[in-house]
Structure 1
Amino acid sequence: MISRDELYQLVWSKPMTKVAEQFHVSSTYMARVCALLNVPRPERGYWAKLEVGKAPSPEPLPEARPGDQLYWSNDGALQAPPKPRHPPKRRSNTAVRVPRPHSHSLLRGAKEHFENGRPVDDDAYLKPYKKLLVDVTASKACLDKALGFANDLFNALESVKHRVVLAPSDEQLRRADVDEREDRKKPRNRYHHSGLWSPYRPTVVYIGSVAIGLAIVEMSETVLLRYVRGTYVREADYTPPKPSRHTVDHTWTTTRDLPSGRLRLVAYSPYGRVHWSTDWQETTKASLRPMLTSIVHAIEEAAADLVGKLEEADRQAEIAHQEWLAAQEKRRREDDRRRVEQSVRESQEHLLQIIQQWSHVVEVERFLAGVEARIADLPADDRALVMDRLRLARAFLGTQNPLDFFLSWKTPGERYHPVYPDHHT
């Protein structure tokens, strides 16, 4: 893992090809990493000029802005993001403006990606192939309206120095689940899957160092449809055939949730440890654009409140973590105590087994000694046969030395070394 400061020092200390070799990537890939981290790099011919003392001074590293990626790793490892701080209050004389001719960078080329996505019905939500795209969910009929409102909203936020970007990958921000229904009173089935397009990373606005997620969605409404000759048409657009004895109306009706042409803006916490959201939505009589100034104010206030929620969530998470550590320590101590007690039992049992085994061997040896005492009266051939069998029996029994039995015994400490010395028995 390398920070943008370290990468800046690196690319101005040796050629890009050498830097790329260090990370086992190509020089063109390394150049894209520099662009991702907003790190300036030497122009072509810089190192040749440097050898003859004619190279220009290194271009200074720009100060990191909210939403800039600060670290890069070739193996995908991520640095813990900095904790959001309370945002500074905006000056009262700074007015929210909407520069209409200005096209926000997130929206340039977005329309083409939405329109050239997966094939969908004319009255369905668009599903672009591109996943790193502004968080807008809309049908083709409402796309221009949704992108236009997004452009006005982003410009209004940036007019008061709040940066709107796609969330940087190193901050691990999440996108909230967005309910596209205009009427959300009825709970959804827990297994419901809307099938709507969703971006790979959320669109966020930084109020100081606090990220607020933004999602613009065209709401859906329940529409009565009629099935007519293989297709569905809105009941309001259906003209029934003139009744006659020769015509039969082979149609039927059903309901579906379809895009309504009205927008909803959802602002939410992109931090997984805090669940918070609020929204504004259009009606048939009121659009969202006149609310832009009040929306910006509300987002600013929400960012300040979100910092407190995050701090409380971190405090609760630390308490839970300490409780988990204490539980793990208790479990380890109990496991260690059980192992100590088990080693004592096993050591005692083994010692008793050795004593019993030795007693058994003594009894057998006494028997064998009795047999040996009685072979003196046998004929030579029988005596030799019995002596051979005595040797086989003693070999079969193995060692009969009490020291060998005793040295095989292990003390409790030899069987298990306690992790916690106070458990040693």
Structure 2
Amino acid sequence: MIKVAERFDVSGSYLARVCTVLNVPRPERGYWSKLAVGQAPKAEPLPDARPGDQISWSKDGELQVAPKPRLPPRRRLDTPVRIPRTKLHGLVLGAKEHFENSRPVDEGAYLRPFKKLLVDVTTSKDCLDKALDLANDLFNAFESVGHRVVIAPPDEHLRGITLDEREVRGKQRNPYYHSGLWSPNRPTVVYIGSVAVGLSVVEMSEDVLMRYVNGKYIRDADYVQPVRFRDYTWTTTRTLPTGRLRLVAYSPYWRVSWSADWQETRQTSLRSLVKSIVPSVEAAAADLVGKLEEADRQIEIERIEREAAEERCRREEDRRRVEQSIQDSKEHLGKVIQQWSNLMSIERFLSGVEQRTHELPDDDRVGMLERLRLARDFLGTQDPLDFFRSWKTPQERYRSKYPGTGSGEANP
């Protein structure tokens, strides 16, 4: 383990945890000593990856692209959905303690547990047992017909859903509205084959008229007016959990938006609907595969169109720069010619001064010749070849990335 860990620049204990996450068997403690004396146990084979298993790891966090979702063979109609009442599903086992270890909330409000890698259940403390019992029945029902329920693995990049917990959903909420409800880091999903369907259990809410009495709010329906004296109270409306549950099944894939829900009433419990929910989710998963394939096709079309548009922009920019290089080269050549012409005019003037200088007395002639030398030094070279060498051709300014297609590009 230590030698392999060195290849990834991690510790042996860190790599051991990675193997545990990926379900990769590794030698037990003392294996190499036993191997030296011929008493080592037989190496365990690498188990087949199941839907929902993390199958890749990267130190920098960049994981492989998950395979495309595919459905399993159709389940036989005579295969019954069973709900073993005594079996506690792994996601529900121990979850109650974590939910009760919640951030401080008002009495009767939704729990906000500190742990973020939990089964996707949103509920108040009074309804916690009921919600976990529903989740347990639902998960066991799915697994009774071969569908695995897990917390989504990190390498599939599945997303959760923004819940609307209202029992009576009226107009759509403001997109910037934040309910403050707890939500897990990763969604809870059931795998129908390798197709993931998100599952979320939420206790619904309703608007309740509350009355402030003696330092706290109580339901106005529970308030009893004192007989002997008068309370100074007031009322307000608050959104509170109802004790009734809703199950939401949804697409955890960002490229497809789909959801369906089942909710209980005052007369009907959701636990009685679990067996009928399973085939409904199976049918939805079959439709989800088609929607994902269509979404992938549209994404590929958009990618091709986007790349074509980017290529057109690059070619247009290349053509513009070629034309600009030609224009700049022409202007530069004109400036070079004009500079040389101006220099020649000055040189003719200086030549005339030099001729007149020879007519001056010796003392004056020496000083004037020195001034002429300084003037010519200021002017610099007068060789037309030096001026012409400073000129840059269009190809020297910019060479087209698309030879033969640049507008106005001269042949080399």
In the superposition, the TM-score normalised over structure 1's length comes to: 0.94
| Alignment partners' CA distance in 2, 1:98 and 1:45 | 43
Q: Tell whether the 8 Å contact from 1:162 to 1:206 is kept in structure 2 after alignment.
A: yes
Matched, 1:266 2:251: no
Task: Tell me which of 384, 387, 390 is aligned to 1:408.
Answer: 390
In 1: Cα distance, 2:361 partner to 2:88 partner: 121
The question of 1:178 aligning with 2:163 is answered yes
Tell me the residue number matched to 2:175: 190
Residues 351-376 of structure 1: per-residue CA shift (max 9 Å, x gap)? 00010011001100000000000011
Structure 1 residue aligned with 2:195, among 187, 204, 210? 210
- Match 2:98 to one of 109, 113, 120: 113
Counterpart code for 1:338: R
- Secondary structure of 1:175's match? coil
2:288 equivalent among 306, 328, 332: 306
Q: Take 2:39 and 2:88, find their aligned partners in 1: how far apart are those partners? A: 40
Match of 2:227 among 236, 239, 242: 242
Q: Does 1:368 align with 2:350?
A: yes
Deviation at 1:248, TM superposition (A): 4.1
- Does structure 2 conserve the Cα–Cα contact (< 8 Å) formed by 1:123 and 1:139? yes
Matched residue, 2:87: 102
Q: Is the 8 A contact 1:87 1:304 kept in 2?
A: no
Is contact 1:131-1:198 (8 Å) kept?
yes
For 2:232, the aligned partner's letter is H
* Cα distance between partner residues in 2 of 1:253 and 1:122: 17
Per-residue deviation at 1:410? 0.9
Contact 1:267 1:277 in 2 (8 A): yes
Q: Which amino acid aligns with 2:244?
A: R
Secondary structure of residue in 1 paired with 2:172:
coil
Aligned to 2:24: 39
Residue 384 of structure 1 corresponds to 366
2:266 paired with 1:284: yes
Query: In 2, Cα distance between the equivalents of 1:350 and 1:312?
Result: 56
Q: CA deviation at 1:22?
A: 2.1
After superposition, give the CA deviation of every residue in 1:58-116 in whole Å (9 maximum; x if it has no partner). 10111100000010011111111111113321122210000010000011110000001
Task: Indicate the SS of the match to 2:91.
Answer: helix
Cα distance in 2 for partners of 1:93, 1:27 equals 50
- SS of the equivalent of 1:196 reads coil
The 1-side partners of 2:377 and 2:111 are apart by 88
Deviation at 1:212, TM superposition (A): 0.1
Structure-1 separation of matches of 2:48 and 2:16: 19
On the 8 A contact 1:138/1:146 being kept in 2, the answer is yes
Alpha-carbon distance in 1 for matches of 2:244, 2:109:
14
Contact 1:210–1:307 (Cα < 8 Å) also in 2 = yes
Partner of 1:218, secondary structure, is strand
CA drift at 1:52: 3.4
Provide the residue aligned with 1:93 in structure 2: 78
Question: What is the aligned-residue RMSD (CA, Å)?
Answer: 1.1
- Aligned-partner SS, 2:311: helix
Corresponding letter in the other structure for 1:319: I
Partner of 1:30: 15
Kept in 2: contact 1:137–1:197 (CA 8 A): yes
SS in 2 for 1:377: coil
Could you say which residue in structure 1 is the equivalent of 2:135?
Answer: 150
Do 1:106 and 1:165's aligned partners in 2 also have CA atoms closer than 8 Å?
Answer: yes
* Distance apart, 1:186 and its partner CA: 2.6
- In structure 2, C-alpha distance between the alignment counterparts of 1:387 and 1:342, rounded to whole Å: 46
Residue identity matched to 2:344: V
What does residue 5 of structure 1 align with? none
Give the Cα–Cα distance (whole angstroms) in 1 for the partners of residues 342 and 105 of structure 2.
88
- Match for residue 333 of structure 1? 315
Consecutive unaligned residues of structure 1, counting only runs of 5 or more, are: 1-15
Query: Could you say what secondary structure the match of 1:71 adopts?
Result: coil
Q: Does the alignment pair 1:50 with 2:35?
A: yes
Matched residues in 2 for 1:190 and 1:292: separation?
A: 32
1:137 to 114, 122, 129: 122
Separation in structure 2 between the aligned mates of residue 320 and residue 330 of structure 1, nearest angstrom: 15
**Partners in 2 of 1:230 and 1:177 — Cα distance?**
34
Identity of matched residues, %: 68
Deviations 1:265-308 (A, max 9, x none): 00000000000000000000001111111100000000000000
Distance 1:56 1:233 in 2: 66
Deviation at 1:252, TM superposition (A): 1.1
2: CA distance, partners of 1:54 / 1:173? 45
Q: Give the whole-Å Cα distance in 2 for the aligned partners of 1:197 and 1:308.
A: 32
Contact 1:87/1:303 (<8 A) preserved: no
1:228: which partner in 2?
Answer: 213
> What is the one-letter code of the residue matched to 1:288?
L
CA distance in 2, matches of 1:378, 1:165: 108
Equivalent residue number for residue 330 of structure 2? 348
Shift of residue 120 of structure 1?
1.1
Using the alignment, how far apart are the partners of 1:55 and 1:147 within structure 2? 44
Q: Name whichever of 221-230 and 20-29 sits farther off.
A: 20-29
